Amino acid sequence: MPQAEGERVPLSALKEAEHLPRLLVLSFGVWLYAADSTLVATVMPVAVEEIGGLPYLSWTYTLYQLGSVVTGAIAALVILRTGIVRAEIAAGSLYVFGCALSAYASDMSIMILGRLLQGMGGGGLVSLAFIGASTLFPQKLWVRIIAVISAVWGVSSLCGPLIGGYFVNIGNWRGAFWAFAIQGLVTIFVAPPLLRKHFQSRTKEIQPLPVARLCLLSIAVLAICQAGVVSSIQFAGVLCATGVALILIFIKQDSDSVNRIFPRGILNPSTVSGSGLLMICSLFMATISLTVYGPLLMYIIFGASPLVAGYIIALESLAWTLTAIITSGFRERLEPILIKIGSVFVSISMLGLVYAMPVGPLWVISLFSFIMGMGFGMSWSFVSKRIIANVPETERAHASASIPTFMRVAMALGSALSGIIANNSGFSEASSVTVAQNVAFWCFASFTPLMFVGLFTAWRVSKR
């Protein structure tokens, strides 16, 4: 049952003996995925010098995202067959094996295979964390749990490049992958005692895995990811449009199936859950340019060092983390207000960056980055809770898995569209300040329609 109106859940409630161990296990899985996803920013340039394969470098990103989306999508179906403990062990094993392959890699083909397996294992661990939040804890704790998960994600994303940089500096880039392989083993061994007797498998409800639909989803994600790295603008546009079309076909087929991967109508704006997921996806797509092109644009236009630009981008994660933890303890009656204010904050920051990114100054860009993080932080946990709570109880695991899965797809699609916009302006590392300013304007202004979609759906999901 929902918590009583006006009841405030203290953060100390998570420290109870029955909650804390499970929360730590689930959060640790998020750490492994999020830190590993950004680790390669500092590791791969050095790794390529040793093993070669520069023309195929983008595939280390593409297949990592592919693996995380596909495995994350079917996490709920796997849990119904095996229970959460075996699912956690399976995901952890894939992750460890992938890290070991990348650590051993003698050429780019092995590295790419390792990154695919890391994505599969890590994506599974993240979806299991969201599923665990809604199935292993009482509903009154959902917002707190999701806030912790998002905080761990934010901190982990910041730590990944630092960890990779440390191992590069000591001349042992392979050690970075070994370090995460060892951590993956921890997940495998601690999950059984800490998660046992929770969410057992439902053997009577087993349906065959939807292999055909998973293949369709895989092709869609591949097309979208590649659209962001190909040089031909026309080909990128075709890939992007093809990917979106295939995703729509996938959603239609999945909705009509018995063994659905996601709840029926999961993107239907007339429902609370559909509005919530559309809000998350549209705002993520609309703002991803700050992460993708922000550092390079600040370097070309303002001469900002990579460290300074990195700190400015990190302000979003910092604000998100702090705001999510603080607001997760607010009373339930404030949820609709926080969701609306959060979407407004994100929109204000986006509109501000349309004008601030081309001309500065840097402190204004920093301010908007912080405001953006606050907006996501104060709304994300409450929207996620409503997405999960407003589907039938039998489909809550599926709804939980849909949140990180569609978020990753939205980020990939937003990155691809940003790349098309930038390439259409002739953008490169050697671009002039004038060209960079033009790109800085259009990489944010072009996503304004999605901002309005985010605002509209935020108001819909706020309705009781």
- 104-108, long-range: CB within 8 Å, 24+ apart, which pairs? 104/174, 105/47, 105/51, 106/51, 107/51, 107/52, 107/53, 108/48, 108/51, 108/52, 108/53, 108/56, 108/57, 108/59, 108/60
pLDDT tens for the chain, residues 1 to 464:
344 444 566 556 666 657 788 888 888 989 999 888 878 777 887 888 888 877 777 788 878 888 888 888 888 888 878 888 888 899 999 999 999 999 998 888 899 899 999 999 998 999 888 888 888 888 888 888 888 888 888 888 878 888 888 888 888 889 999 999 999 998 898 887 777 655 444 444 566 778 888 888 888 888 888 887 777 778 888 888 898 899 889 888 888 887 788 888 788 888 888 889 899 989 988 888 888 788 888 888 888 877 777 788 888 888 888 888 888 877 778 888 999 999 999 999 999 999 999 987 999 999 999 999 999 988 888 898 888 888 888 788 888 888 888 888 888 888 888 888 887 776 665 567 888 888 889 888 889 999 999 999 999 888 75
Percentages (nearest 5) of helix, strand, coil residues in the chain:
80, 0, 20
The whole-number pLDDT of residue 13 equals 62
Q: Please tell me the CATH code under which domain 18-199 is placed.
A: 1.20.1250.20
Helices (H), 105-232: 108-135, 142-169, 173-195, 211-227
Q: Which residue has the tokens 């644009």?
A: 297
Given a contact cutoff of 8 angstroms between Cβ atoms, the answer to whether 154 and 141 are in contact is no
The whole-number pLDDT of residue 93 equals 93
Amino acid, res. 150:
S
- Tens-digit pLDDT profile for residues 3-46: 444 456 655 666 665 778 888 888 898 999 988 887 877 788 78
Equal CATH topology for 18-199 and 268-464: yes
- 19-25, long-range: CB within 8 Å, 24+ apart, which pairs? 19/137, 19/141, 21/194, 22/132, 22/136, 22/137, 22/194, 22/195, 22/198, 23/137, 23/145, 23/148, 24/194, 25/88, 25/187, 25/190, 25/191, 25/194, 25/195
Task: Tell me the CATH architecture of domain 268-464.
Answer: Up-down Bundle (1.20)
The whole-number pLDDT of residue 348 equals 93
Distance between terminal CA atoms of the chain?
15
**What are the backbone angles phi and psi of residue 218, rounded to the nearest 5°?**
-65, -45
- The number of CA neighbours under 13 Å toward the Cβ of 416 is 30
The whole-number pLDDT of residue 288 equals 85
Give counts: helices (H), strands (E), the chain. Answer: 17, 0
The whole-number pLDDT of residue 352 equals 93
Domain-wise residue ranges, the chain: 18-199, 210-258, 268-464
Closest by CA position to 355, among listed 436, 442, 459, 232 = 442
